[in-house]
Structure 1
């Protein structure tokens, strides 16, 4: 019998934005208990967790199929098998990069869990669909391992609370006043910024060792400037980066900026006039930095 499994992989950024998990390798395996017999216990968890390169290679003997995830997170796996599957199958992914980051020299491996696809028969072919969304707190940890930060948010007018489109949003590292990333707001005022942290960057904080990998949990403290048609319309004072929600931001962070462009002529630094700037950030459940 022939099997075809189609699916999609994505990740949550602070619970309100989605990123495609692209250019990953996805694998599906026979359950360990069925392959080795009753002496082998299955890992029945459905929570994503890292696995070592050695453990990843040892699963090769149980491999049913593997494939590459495309730019939009889609994949397709096909294989032949003599019986109908009714038991859970095991899924792994191997990542060498995340959106906004160049490919790393070595990949990281994660088990997604054990799942039972809902097979439907069509002309001798069994088909099923599988979609998996990586939770935001786990995606933040993964991004930290790649030293790749993402900042999502919205620029809104402080008076009308409506999103402002076609603005250039620039984020600066308060430690050295260097521009770390910039992006453009869409028609709803939403933006997404990527920032890759070097190993020498002194803003890196709280290195956690897990499965021989380093998971960075905090990066730079930041402040913003906003432009329209190359004209500065809003600028925060550097001291805004001293606020708790701006200090050492997590690899997945969310910032909502409420501005009054008409106030840009004021000599007062942005961020200090009550009602003109309001900052919100989701730390992606950053209290826990374990899978």
Structure 2
């Protein structure tokens, strides 16, 4: 009977990231220095080592055979009967590592001693179980060192999960970047599998690129005064155009080694249509929460958003999460409504429910269509792999309840599918429950265009504060035809939200030009006149520069440094101190400004370029 020793070789990249060691030569020796299996297995750190030329020469006569690992890292070796009671040393010659980079940088053969085994014990285990195979996993410290030091093979193994549920996110594209002082390097990208696992292989050439590459390569560490050899790695991840992870170089893991093991998580949910989870309104856009509190994104008691005291304008996205169905399998619906009656956000009471009469989907122009979710195929398909789900007026019933199930079914039908095909897709929660147009609520009149530069805005023409309360409701639909519903705990009211859609009122002039003509050169004292007004002014300044840029400065009394200031008006702002402050040249005077208006994604400045006044100064 033939005595076949079956075995396999694997290497740890991370604890849960193991790769097969294929196409390498396995060597079998009679024991060297009379090591016993017990000693070798209990002292793996001392046993596993690089075999030097001197040791190879000393053990030449002890070699009894060789085998090759296949594509799965498996090998088989026939043992002569005279060695059935012997112990064998096992080595391997490492000529390559996954994913098959070039040959080692050194010319000599790389031979590593693994361990010593008892032939009799291993064959006995194979007799007891036909599926048994001796397996050796090289510890990640050794295997990563071999990969990186000898083959310049660097690797990143990781998982992408949902931060809240810890469920894996499949089919996402993960990109690894190296933060550099000059230009960040793209180390590579990979797609997550059904377990959220991804792997990115790269070499040092990928993070040592410079503007002179490929002639000169070097790692340009952002902390260039303390040069280190490893890359500083940060990650981006996206799924069907939705950003899941958006790290920056500030998040970089500094000077990583040959193997990097990471766990990334995303707040964006990627769920099966049948999953149930708590539904809630949690924010406005990506910047603000929808709650009163002291954290930076929260609303304060008065109704200002975030610690920057922003006010809402334009179209805002009301964000959060909503399951398609309840635990009982019934559809979920939700709605948003607005009241003109408000209370401070720190008040334990809420405004009267009867006042929430401006319902999104019913009140004119309050609803804004937009993407509320995306469908992504569970198994990739080149056709209809991704379907965007848009909200539509038809998704609201007569009372303003929004049915996202209806929106999804409409998206499937429009794509040429049927509602039953939803089972083929996962849902990417876009976080947007609904979008709302604040301009449909605000009514304050703009400042009339009748006031000149330097002229005050009368109190009767100033813009008043407009506050609103926003309510979120959610319900389980038991039988809509029979008007049977179950209101779900999870609705909420934000007592006070300040909104504004008025532009800044800005006027700018040069006093000396107004006294002559706008085309005449001027000399001597130069005086600016300006009017800058908005109830939520954030900044404003005057800036003067000459055509030659020898003069390039802010005008001190035109700078607003107090966010509570709502207006800046002056008719005698001196730009120079004659006779030697300004030289003969053309000058540009600009009035810059911005407000604290914000839509939860982007802030509003002054709605356009700064006001500019040109003049020619003649000494």
Same fold per TM (> 0.5)? Answer: yes
* Structural mapping, 1:265-280, within 5 Å: 266=286
> Which of the pair has the greater relative contact order for Cα pairs under 8 Å at 6+ separation?
1
Q: Secondary structure at the match of 2:168?
A: coil
Deviations 1:131-172 (A, max 9, x none): 111112222222222221121111112222211100010001
| Partner in structure 1 of residue 85 of structure 2 | 86
SS across alignment from 1:13: strand
- The residue matched to 1:72 in structure 2 has which SS? coil
Determine if contact 1:92/1:112 at 8 Å carries over to the other structure: yes
The yes-or-no answer on 1:162 pairing with 2:161 is no
Question: Who is 1:193 aligned against?
Answer: 200
Q: After the TM superposition, which residues 241-260 of structure 1 pair with which residues of structure 2 at under 5 Å, given as runs?
A: 241=252, 246-260=253-267
Q: 1:15 to 1:204 in 2, by over 3 A?
A: farther
1:183: which partner in 2? 190
Q: 1:237 aligns with which of 248, 253, 256?
A: 248
Deviation (angstroms), 1:193: 1.3
What is the match of residue 174 of structure 1?
179
Q: Specify the alignment match of 1:22 in structure 2.
A: 22
1:84-112, CA deviations, whole angstroms, 9 ceiling, x for partnerless residues? 53232111011122112414154421100
Which residue in 2 is equivalent to 1:136? 140
Using the TM superposition, give the Cα deviation of residue 70 of structure 1 relative to its aligned residue in structure 2, in angstroms: 1.2
What residue is the counterpart of 2:427 in the other structure? none
Give me the whole-angstrom Cα distance separating, in 1, the residues matched to 2:125 and 2:264. Answer: 51
Residue pair 2:101, 2:153 contacting (<8 A) in 1 also? no
Deviation for aligned residue 1:2: 4.5
Matches within 5 A, 1:217-236: 219-229=230-240, 232-236=243-247
Aligned pair count?
241
What is the alpha-carbon distance in structure 2 between the residues aligned to residue 234 and residue 54 of structure 1?
A: 51
Equivalent pair of 1:171/1:222 in contact (CA under 8 Å): yes
Q: Which residue in the other structure is 1:289 paired with?
A: none
Per-residue CA shift, 1:47-85, capped at 9, x if unaligned? 21111244335433211110111111101112434x253
Change (3 A) 1:191 1:6: same
For structure 1, which segment, 42-51 or 88-97, has the greater mean C-alpha deviation from structure 2 after superposition?
42-51
Q: Is the 8 A contact 2:245 2:265 kept in 1?
A: no
Aligned residues: CA RMSD: 3.3
110, 115, 118: which is aligned to 1:116?
118
1:52-67 equivalences in 2 (<5 Å): 52-67=52-67
Do the aligned partners of residues 203 and 238 (structure 1) sit closer, same or farther apart at CA in structure 2, a change above 3 Å counting? Answer: same
Quote the offset at 1:120 in angstroms: 4.2
Question: Where does structure 2 lack aligned partners over 5 or more consecutive residues?
Answer: 127-131, 209-217, 222-227, 270-282, 289-295, 298-619
Unpaired runs of 5+ residues, structure 1, are 33-40, 123-127, 206-216, 275-291
Structure label with greater radius of gyration: 2
| 1:42 to 2:47 alignment | no
Equivalent position of 2:215 in the other structure = none
CA distance in 2, matches of 1:43, 1:50: 17
Relative to structure 1, the CA distance from residue 219 to residue 92 in structure 2 (aligned partners, 3 Å threshold; closer, same or farther) is same
